[in-house]
Structure 1
Amino acid sequence: MKIYEGPAFVAAKAQATLLPVCIDGASRTYFSRLSGKHPRQLFPKLSLTFLPTRPFTMPEGESAKLRRKRAGEALRRVMQEMIFTSRKPETLFSSLCHASKLYGKRRKLVEDIKQIEYSYNDLLKMALMLGKKTEAFSSEHENIGVLLPNLAPTLGLIFGMTARQRVPALLNYTAGVEALQSACDVAKVTKIITSKAFIEQAKLEDKIAQLRGITFHYLEDIRASITLADKLWLVGWALHRPLSFEKPASTESTAVVLYTSGSEGKPKGVVLSHRAIMANINQIRAVTDFSVYDKVFNALPIFHSFGLTAGALLPVLSGMSLFLYPTPLHYRIIPELSYDRGCTILFGTSTFLNHYGKYAHPYDFHRLRYVVAGAEKLTDSVRNLWFDKFGLRVFEGYGTTETAPVLAVNTPMAYRYGSVGQFLPLIESRITPIEGIEQGGALHVRGPNVMSGYLKVDQPGILQPPTSSVGDGWYETGDIVEIDNDGYIAIIGRLKRFAKLAGEMISLEVAETLAYAVSPDKLHAVSSRPDTRKGEALVLFTTDPTLTKDQLLKHAQASGVSEIAVPREIQYVDTLPLLGTGKIDYVTLKTLAQRTLPIP
């Protein structure tokens, strides 16, 4: 919704006191200007939410025009916070039930690779039955592994398990045996729900055979165990009163266990509550204009927080249509499917968007209105590719698994080139200085979407709440950032991705940006290794066999980049190692860097 600057400027000039009031439900009457797929009711439930009054003062600015603009932005943030605050706390399952009632049980909204369209009623059927069957072989609050791809039944299983207070621990099936075993151990997972067909198609037989202390439960066996009595229970009672199926639970109780990507070390378990996930969904709703007219294409795996919250739960709980695809690696097929299904929203990483853009026909993405990049830094080459070929502006966002995941995102209403946008509503931030780093500081955040805590290898199964040097309840992201006067965030780099060369702290991402500037159409990544002369040496891994150190030096001199940021060694590779989430696997690159030899 557009916010006019005039009323905001007048209110600020008069030093008015604002009383935020949110009216919900009026849009569902037959007198509403909304039409089409928006649900209509004769007597919709109306609610009015009054927030505490607040002073509205004139923002600082060098000119009246700038002050007027900032007053409008301040009013927009007030209204976004109002939209978020007016949402009532819910669990995942209760939110599904309310969405079903609001948008219609028969509304078709989820489609997967099987080309079957599922309605809210179908999702509820799966959730109710799978929740009931899972309960038979598990206990309350038990962490149960889920090893399944992006399919509608996977969503049904997650909703059903949370309804009966079983905790899905979403496992990365692309990880190695050691990483899978570690993920199970850290969350004390002794049972895994998977599918025989999936295990066979993904060729995971050897992996699961090597996992120790795990009992496997297969969806095929669960389906075969459904009796006539179960069907009568489902049709005769549960579907008519789905909310009564949910065990009473606090929104602070655990919803899911996810795992950090492992791009820099051994994965940790991240415990996310219903409050954290639902807060993040409502925060995204407050700053975007996603609606029932939209269709989301999600190929990001559900075991990744970006794929789970933004790619799956957000559309289902907001009445949007959703197409689930099992892998983001089919670079030619995904653009074709997006075209065929008329998708309007696409989530991806910079790496994946780069490949989709290269292989897609210029008309494949003609229906898209939101392309959102996250999980890794969006490169200028990808940004330019999408704008030049498709006429689309890629909206870069920023988040972490620990924040469920979105912290900030650019939107059509609030966009700044080179930034990851502004913080979502009610997220507090602090920046602390880092010795040796002059630009930016370490980012600490606190908000309703922050995790309950970690599960770590040294204390498996024991929740370790977030804390940082700022205080308890704060989460240190590990990122070095700058925030400008308008609240836009620029990511300088990861704290762990700095190298100390001759006593100077150098960001590895600066070196990567240098390589992309010289060779924008190829992939590049920088790691470091010990060096007897300067402490550390930078090693560039590139898919461009023609890239030379002289080219990098010339561009560094022309752009004012310190020569010390130019990698001393170059290693040519056919492809860069990637994690299942699409991030570059820096752990593997670090190992390779130890073995590299300098190129003369």
Structure 2
Amino acid sequence: MGMLQFLDWREVDSASNIVEIFENRAALHPSRMMVSGHNALISWGDMAKAVRGFSTSYGERIKDKDVAVFMSNGAEFLMTYLSVLFCGGRPALFNAAMPRQSGAKLMEELRPEMVFADHPLEFQPDAVIVDASMIKGWVEMDADAPNRCTSGDAPSTYFYSGGTTGSPKRILYTQAQVLHAGARMQCAWPLEEGEVFLLIAPFSHIYGFLAGICLPLQCGGTSVIPERFHPADVIDLIEKEKVSVLGGGPPAIYQAIMAALDLANRDISSLRVCPGGGAGFPADVHRQWYETTGLRIYEGYGMTEGAPISANNEERGFKIGTVGRAVPGVSLRIVDVETGAREMPAGEAGEICIKGPHMMRGYCNNAEETASVVRDGWIHTGDIGTLDEEGFLTITDRKKEMILHKGFNVFPREVEEALISHPAVTGVCVVGAPDDRSGEVVIAYVTLKAGETVSEEDLIEASKQYLVRYKLPSRIEFLDALPLTPAGKLDRMALKTRAKQDIVAA
């Protein structure tokens, strides 16, 4: 095998905007497949034609306007996003499965000029429904609309974050910030020309946006998009499409793939990069994936307020249990949880603070929340972690997920690591539930390998070799599957609600 020829991530920083990157790539290889989805195949050249056809239809109306996009991953999403930017509009990206009341509230706050979706929206009946036939029509128009995309500090894309309170808050990325974020994502996970991506996380999520939109655009790649996430389908696609970059995401994605019965007999040798993020990876997941595939999971860290922040890779260093070193241009520090003012020594836990060229400047129309998160130019993430002497960052937990049991701080991840080390366990989520005597008690939800039988007492006894007594779960409940959010993360809020209800009912 020859030496890998990585593209220079710095070239992304020097572009005018993401549309320029797209246009240059489409001109270089118009016949290369850009999107291979369950309901649409489209080349780079045809995508460029579709963007101009869309602009001919809507360009004058949406120039300098806010535009809402409610779509699942696919050619429709990518075409609509690039087209709105091409027209000089400002796309706001929303999860396709937005509930009616939440969608209506967000539209009232944004007040977009137009709404585009890939399915009818109950709360927005005038939304334009984009489908494969519409894209085909725009391709066949062979239009010659001008590129009106802005650049520099001009507005680019709106994302929504739950922040530290959980309520959706709008964040505006400038054109330069989108480029800086994409460049650093590429630095974190170096790319060759024409990579083949299998994309799982929603493009409306910051991780899915960077991994599913920015990275394929930056390397002129092909995006393979499954209709849904099912381990057997994912393995089929890796083998058939010769996927080189797995979209990855949280540990649950990798655990589900490894649980597939015939993985050992499949040819997934095309895989080269396996990124991970969105939740902490237990060491056992790293070990099992490496033993199964011979590949490492390159764990990283980011958030909607600024991503990526840090990452593990071979070039910048790799250390299991950490989320790597800061990517270029990003500064990290750990401060005390109580005041947020005192910097902690190496190895001591505290709140993670970040600063960098792609970090948000504030929440739109929300000065109060901005002031609580952005202080003296630093974003206070709400995550708890440590920095070691070599600059590797370890995430301990979310500040708001810390469990206060009998006056002691219990971080769910530590308990989860202990439980998942048991050979019968495939998944764990630990949450706190209110308790009159203890303040909060530790509740664990666990899934087991098919055919395995383990008792609550067995797991608690096994955990004693890792945990002091006050960190042991008060109750362990066995589930067939752990609930996931649309982004593929463990749905802790659902399990917190369940734990609270169970306590009240007891």
TM-score range, shorter chain: 0.7 to 0.9
Change (3 A) 1:464 1:160: farther
Shift of 1:493: 0.9
Shift of 1:89: 4.6
The equivalent of 1:219 in structure 2 is 130
Structure 1 residue matching 2:305: 3-state secondary structure: helix
* Count of matched residue pairs: 491
Q: Which of 474, 477, 488 lines up with 1:568 in the alignment?
A: 474
The equivalent of 2:64 in structure 1 is 140
The equivalent of 1:410 in structure 2 is 312
The equivalent of 1:596 in structure 2 is 502
Q: Which range is displaced more, 251-260 or 483-492?
A: 251-260
Structure 2 residue matching 1:161: 3-state secondary structure: helix
Aligned-partner Cα distance in 1 for 2:98–2:71: 13
Long gaps (5+) in structure 2 = none
- Which structure 2 residues correspond to residues 350-389 of structure 1 after superposition, within 5 A? 350-359=251-260, 361-362=263-264, 363-389=266-292
The equivalent of 1:156 in structure 2 is 79
Question: Are residues 1:168 and 2:168 paired?
Answer: no
Aligned-partner Cα distance in 1 for 2:163–2:362: 17
Structure 1 residue matching 2:47: 3-state secondary structure: helix
| Superposition TM-score, scaled by structure 2 size | 0.87
Aligned-partner Cα distance in 2 for 1:595–1:480: 27
The equivalent of 1:340 in structure 2 is 240
The equivalent of 2:350 in structure 1 is 441
Kept in 2, the 8 Å contact 1:191–1:214? The answer is no
Question: Are residues 1:399 and 2:337 paired?
Answer: no
Structure 1 residue matching 2:127: 3-state secondary structure: strand
Kept in 2, the 8 Å contact 1:499–1:536? The answer is yes
- The CA deviation string for residues 125-171 of structure 1, in whole angstroms up to 9 with x for no partner, is 122222332335445232x2212222223212111101222222222
Matched to 2:441, the amino acid is A
Change (3 A) 1:547 1:500: farther
Structure 1 residue matching 2:433: 3-state secondary structure: strand
The equivalent of 1:20 in structure 2 is none
Matched to 1:486, the amino acid is E
- Which structure 2 residues correspond to residues 173-188 of structure 1 after superposition, within 5 A? 173-188=96-111
Q: Which range is displaced more, 433-442 or 171-180?
A: 433-442
Aligned-partner Cα distance in 1 for 2:58–2:80: 9
Q: Which structure would you say has the larger Rg?
A: 1
Kept in 1, the 8 Å contact 2:34–2:42? The answer is yes
Matched to 2:237, the amino acid is L
Change (3 A) 1:179 1:543: farther
Question: Are residues 1:431 and 2:334 paired?
Answer: yes
Matched to 2:14, the amino acid is K
Aligned-partner Cα distance in 2 for 1:34–1:509: 36
Q: Which of 171, 177, 199 lines up with 1:270 in the alignment?
A: 171
Matched to 1:132, the amino acid is T
Change (3 A) 1:180 1:480: same
Q: Which of 103, 114, 120 lines up with 2:39 in the alignment?
A: 114
Aligned-partner Cα distance in 2 for 1:282–1:336: 30
Aligned-partner Cα distance in 2 for 1:264–1:576: 23
- Which structure 2 residues correspond to residues 70-81 of structure 1 after superposition, within 5 A? none
Q: Which range is displaced more, 409-418 or 590-599?
A: 590-599
Shift of 1:546: 4.7
Change (3 A) 1:150 1:492: same
Kept in 2, the 8 Å contact 1:569–1:598? The answer is no
The equivalent of 2:18 in structure 1 is 92
Change (3 A) 1:264 1:539: farther
Aligned-partner Cα distance in 2 for 1:511–1:345: 31
Shift of 1:535: 1.0
Matched to 2:251, the amino acid is S
Aligned-partner Cα distance in 2 for 1:107–1:227: 19
Aligned-partner Cα distance in 2 for 1:470–1:464: 10
Shift of 1:225: 12
Matched to 1:174, the amino acid is A
Give the share of equivalent positions with the same residue, in percent: 20
Shift of 1:450: 1.0
Matched to 2:13, the amino acid is R
Aligned Cα RMSD in Å?
Answer: 3.3
Question: Are residues 1:543 and 2:435 paired?
Answer: no
Shift of 1:224: 9.7
Aligned-partner Cα distance in 2 for 1:563–1:511: 11
Q: Which of 100, 104, 117 lines up with 2:29 in the alignment?
A: 104
Kept in 2, the 8 Å contact 1:149–1:326? The answer is no
Structure 2 residue matching 1:434: 3-state secondary structure: coil
Aligned-partner Cα distance in 1 for 2:310–2:410: 25
The equivalent of 1:587 in structure 2 is 493
Q: Which range is displaced more, 474-483 or 313-322?
A: 313-322
Structure 2 residue matching 1:418: 3-state secondary structure: coil
Q: Which of 232, 245, 254 lines up with 2:147 in the alignment?
A: 245
Q: Which range is displaced more, 85-94 or 564-573?
A: 85-94
Long gaps (5+) in structure 1 = 1-32, 39-79, 200-204, 239-243
Q: Which of 197, 209, 215 lines up with 1:308 in the alignment?
A: 209
Kept in 2, the 8 Å contact 1:530–1:537? The answer is yes
